[in-house]
Chains A and B, each alone.
Chain A
Amino acid sequence: MTRWSEFWKIFKEKKLGIIGIIILSCFVILAVFAPLLAPYDPSVRVAAPFLAPSARHLLGTNDIGNDILSELIFGTRISLLIGVIAAFLSISIGLLIGLIAGYYGGIIDSVLMRIVDLILVIPFLPLMIVLAAYLGPSFWNIIIVISILSWVRPARVIRSQVLTLKTKAFVESARSLGATTRRILFTHIMPGVIPLALAQFVLASSYAILVEASLSFLGLGDPFQKSWGTILYYAQARGAFLTSSWIWWILPPGFLTTLLVLGFTFTGYSLEEILNPRLRRR
């Protein structure tokens, strides 16, 4: 392969990353300025139920007369927040476990990695459904349920990075100079792990958003803080796919979810490509 094609490849991937960042920024703006951008309060009955789109209600109204467009705009907040908070929690746990397992090695490492192997075999979504059903539908319960199981993959990735860093000369020399374990972990190893953790965080966000959508679609989402998944739950329950209302009631929330997830995927993919030299070379 020539240098040109390699250059083209990296450039293309970065372009994907830029598209990802742009998509994400749009959603953040939408979420932050939701009260200004939404034409109505999504929790208030503003018109007759099941209205088709019109100039007053661009995406019509739902089964109880809420404005669907306003629901979608406010739903951005819920879907984005749940995804990002759950991803942040999973990565924090994963970072901690990965650091401990990778740095200490030996028995601690093999016990922790055994646990990771065990958890990876269990089908995630069915277990999350069981946990969410017991805990009850709420904003924080969904976050807990997602992050309690999603830390395992990041933990593995971070552990292997720690394993490589541990053998590097600067860590060896710090140790021989008598640096404490805490100091080695936080000032020498941590900086090498953070970029990787960031890429993992971005990918975990896209995963968490999809899981949240699934759980909410199954009726496990907070009915008072409607995410896009919850909107689709009501659309399904009211049989929106049987009438033409699917075009404005079902298409938009799923499309927004896809776009948001895609934003995270593009960004994470490019980050990984840049951070992982093995991927970049090929």
Chain B
Amino acid sequence: MSRFLAQKIAQYMLVIFITITINFFLPRLMPGNPLIFLAGEDVAFLTEAEKASILENYGLDKPLGEQYTIYLKNIVTGDFGYSYQKKMPIADIIKDRLPWTLLLTGSALLLSSLLGVIFGAAAAWRRGTKTDAALLIKFMFFNSMPSFWVGMILVALFGATLRWFPIFGAQKAWMPLSGWPYYADILHHLVLPLTTLVLISIPSTFMIMRYSMLNVLGEDYILMAKAKGLRENAIKYRYAVRNALLPVVTIFMLQLGYMFSGATVIETVFAYPGLGRLMFEAVVGRDYPVLQASFLIITVTVVLGNLLADLLYPLVDPKVRR
């Protein structure tokens, strides 16, 4: 393993450690009874036995250092505590929700990167023309729209008014399907949230691809290719786009953090049962432990995505390959 990779892994471990530490200290530093922040606002409805079990679980009567050890041990063993509001272990809730968020963000990441690259390359190839300016302004506009607002408009138009797509959820819960209808149903529910997330995510890839392609087009080897009399398409795809892709690959996975931020609000609009929607439910219900666990899982996912990008990068960039 290279030194670079080892450094990266150390950095990522630190990020997760910091996240866990933030999660540990927030409820304990807030004024008032930490029990409220650990069990959620329903603390008044808990029985004495339940309160005692929370105290015992989190070791609240022990010194802070010991509490922290208990906290770390619980997290490492996959015990995120209990949601008194949903009456379920938090780990089980997360297990239900995570796949939906991964489906939404993963497909949006692929689609928006692809479209961003295509439009970015097209704009840079026609730099200074009306097409370039029009694309640039169009994507600046997309970049300025609140993501949830785009979602709300799509729901109102294509969901409630035209009834082309369902307005909430990820599948028809009351109609157990299997085989093709099952996947078609999931896809049908995915269209609107996915479109929203893709629309607001294209601009960043577009900007980077356009800028990178402009740089590449100024290189001598492009001039050389033109001088050799190569066909325009050969220059465009084999020389320019291929080299301009590198920075896009670098940010491909870094986009993941941005994607999760977008998904959080978009899932809320569509009542899509992912981690983002879960965070919203937790905010509304003051269910702090669920809020923290979702945040931790999102961070871990983003970190893993970054690590994946670091591992794959040498495959794409021959200059880094040894």
| A→B interface (CB under 8 Å) | 1, 5, 8-9, 12, 16, 114, 117-118, 121-127, 129-131, 133-134, 206, 210, 213-214, 217-220, 229, 232, 235-236, 240-243, 246, 250-251, 253-254, 257-259, 261-262, 265-266, 269, 282
Contacts of B150 in A (CB 8 A): 254
Contacts of B257 in A (CB 8 A): 121-124
- The listed residue (B30, B152, B288, B299) touching A126 by CB distance below 8 A is B299
Contacts of A240 in B (CB 8 A): 156
Measured between alpha carbons, how far is A211 from B307 in the docked complex, in Å? 27
Q: Quick one: given A123-B302, A126-B260, A258-B141, are A282 and B215 in contact (CB under 8 Å)?
A: yes
Name which residue of chain B comes closest to A245, CB basis: B156
A237 to chain B, nearest CB (A): 9
Stretch at the interface among B56-64, B91-99, B262-270: B262-270
Q: In the bound complex, do residue A250 and residue B152 qualify as a contact, i.e. CB atoms below 8 Å apart?
A: yes
With a 10 A CB-CB cut-off, give which of B19, B23, B283 has the most chain A CB atoms: B283
Q: In the bound complex, do residue A236 and residue B260 qualify as a contact, i.e. CB atoms below 8 Å apart?
A: no
Q: In the bound complex, do residue A219 and residue B284 qualify as a contact, i.e. CB atoms below 8 Å apart?
A: yes
Q: In the bound complex, do residue A254 and residue B149 qualify as a contact, i.e. CB atoms below 8 Å apart?
A: yes
B294 within 8 A of A: yes
Contacts of A243 in B (CB 8 A): 160
**12 other A-B residue contacts (CB within 8 Å) besides A1-B128, A130-B291, A217-B148:** A118-B15, A121-B302, A122-B19, A125-B260, A126-B264, A129-B279, A214-B261, A232-B149, A241-B155, A242-B160, A253-B149, A257-B146
Q: B267-301, CB under 8 A of A: which get 1 and which 0?
A: 01100000000011011101010011011001100
Measured between alpha carbons, how far is A5 from B295 in the docked complex, in Å? 49
Measured between alpha carbons, how far is A266 from B143 in the docked complex, in Å? 12
Contacts of A134 in B (CB 8 A): 26-27, 30, 37, 288
Contacts of A118 in B (CB 8 A): 11, 14-15, 18
With a 10 A CB-CB cut-off, give which of A8, A210, A218, A250 has the most chain B CB atoms: A218
Contacts of B268 in A (CB 8 A): 217-218, 236
B27 to chain A, nearest CB (A): 8
- The listed residue (B215, B265, B299) touching A122 by CB distance below 8 A is B299
The contact sample of 12 A-B pairs, CB cut-off 8 A, is A121-B306, A125-B264, A125-B265, A126-B298, A130-B23, A130-B291, A133-B283, A210-B146, A241-B152, A246-B160, A262-B144, A265-B144
Contacts of A246 in B (CB 8 A): 152-153, 156, 160
Q: Quick one: given A214-B147, A250-B153, are A262 and B264 in contact (CB under 8 Å)?
A: no
Q: In the bound complex, do residue A121 and residue B15 qualify as a contact, i.e. CB atoms below 8 Å apart?
A: yes
Q: Quick one: given A121-B11, A246-B156, A258-B141, are A214 and B37 in contact (CB under 8 Å)?
A: no
Q: In the bound complex, do residue A218 and residue B280 qualify as a contact, i.e. CB atoms below 8 Å apart?
A: yes
Contacts of A229 in B (CB 8 A): 146
Measured between alpha carbons, how far is A190 from B34 in the docked complex, in Å? 45
Measured between alpha carbons, how far is A220 from B148 in the docked complex, in Å? 15
B5 within 8 A of A: no
B181 within 8 A of A: no
Measured between alpha carbons, how far is A12 from B37 in the docked complex, in Å? 54
Contacts of A131 in B (CB 8 A): 26
Contacts of B209 in A (CB 8 A): none
B303 within 8 A of A: yes
Q: In the bound complex, do residue A12 and residue B133 qualify as a contact, i.e. CB atoms below 8 Å apart?
A: yes
Contacts of A117 in B (CB 8 A): 11
Measured between alpha carbons, how far is A60 from B20 in the docked complex, in Å? 47
Measured between alpha carbons, how far is A114 from B280 in the docked complex, in Å? 31
